[in-house]
């Protein structure tokens, strides 16, 4: 084990294209995705990743068909099954969710499930903190943090004080972000935390992504020179 903090984020993209390429329904692509989630989480544990954040459902995804949204509001079917939740608990993975929980469009059953997963996996010294961005948007997170800061103290005051109002409060800055499916954009994901993240884009569709792909991404990440705005020969500061 290592005491070094390592925060990896993944944009889960390509479920629909995976299904279309096989003549299947979009729902089939989503249902296949849970295999990728479990494989990546297990690899993160083996690689001593301390924080893993998955972009599962964005605030923009509400514009999809009613049928698709209805499935996505059942994350126990496509994100992590009850058996997987138990597996995470037993392997000291603390699962938390980031996003707008007060959105009236969220079914009560879905919010109850989110709370139950957080409670079941809660532990004092987790090996891995798995954060799921669900009903999440980066701009919305920042806008809501500004509103909360002004309501509670009349202003943010400092970066640290402002961060305490983010949905992602308590998480370190993202070190590495991987996006699957060949798209080259952030799509409103963790805009505050990504300020100096290394980016990797892969053509692999999310249902086909596995822990071995994450290991490869980590190998590439560790070969990069993170300059942090300094000259190439300078050492970068420790992650906060």
Q: Looking at the annotation, which residues are catalytic?
A: 13, 61
Give per-residue burial for 192-218: e unless 16+ CB within 10 Å, then b: bbbeebbebebebbbbbbbbebbeebb
Give the span between the Cα atoms of 171 and 174, in whole angstroms.
Answer: 8
Sheet with 51-58: list strands edge to edge. 93-98, 128-136, 51-58, 7-11, 176-179, 198-201
Helix (H, G, I), strand (E, B) or coil at 211: helix
Beta strands in the chain (DSSP E): 7-11, 51-58, 93-98, 128-136, 176-179, 198-201
């Amino acid at each position: 084990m290592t005491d070094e903090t390592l925060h990896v984020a993944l944009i889960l993209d390509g479920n629909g294209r995976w299904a279309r390429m096989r003549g299947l329904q979009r729902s089939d692509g989503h249902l296949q995705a849970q295999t990728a989630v479990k494989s990546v989480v297990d690899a993160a544990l083996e690689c001593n990743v301390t924080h893993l954040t998955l972009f599962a459902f964005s605030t923009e995804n509400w514009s999809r068909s009613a049928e698709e949204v209805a499935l996505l509001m059942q994350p126990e079917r496509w994100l992590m099954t009850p058996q997987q939740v138990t597996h995470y608990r037993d392997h000291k993975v603390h699962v938390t969710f980031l996003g707008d929980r007060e959105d009236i469009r969220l079914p009560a059953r879905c919010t109850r499930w989110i709370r139950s997963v957080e409670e079941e996996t809660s532990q004092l010294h987790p090996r891995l903190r798995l954060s799921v961005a669900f009903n999440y948007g980066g701009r919305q997170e920042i806008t809501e943090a500004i509103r909360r800061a002004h309501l509670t103290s009349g202003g943010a005051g400092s970066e640290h004080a402002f961060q305490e109002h983010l949905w992602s409060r308590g998480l370190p800055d993202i070190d590495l972000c991987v996006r699957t499916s060949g798209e080259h954009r952030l799509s409103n994901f963790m805009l505050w935390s990504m300020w100096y993240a290394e980016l990797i884009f892969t053509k692999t569709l999310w249902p086909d992504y596995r822990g071995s792909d994450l290991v490869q991404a980590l190998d590439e990440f560790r070969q990069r020179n993170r300059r942090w705005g300094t000259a190439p020969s300078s050492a970068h500061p420790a992650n906060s």
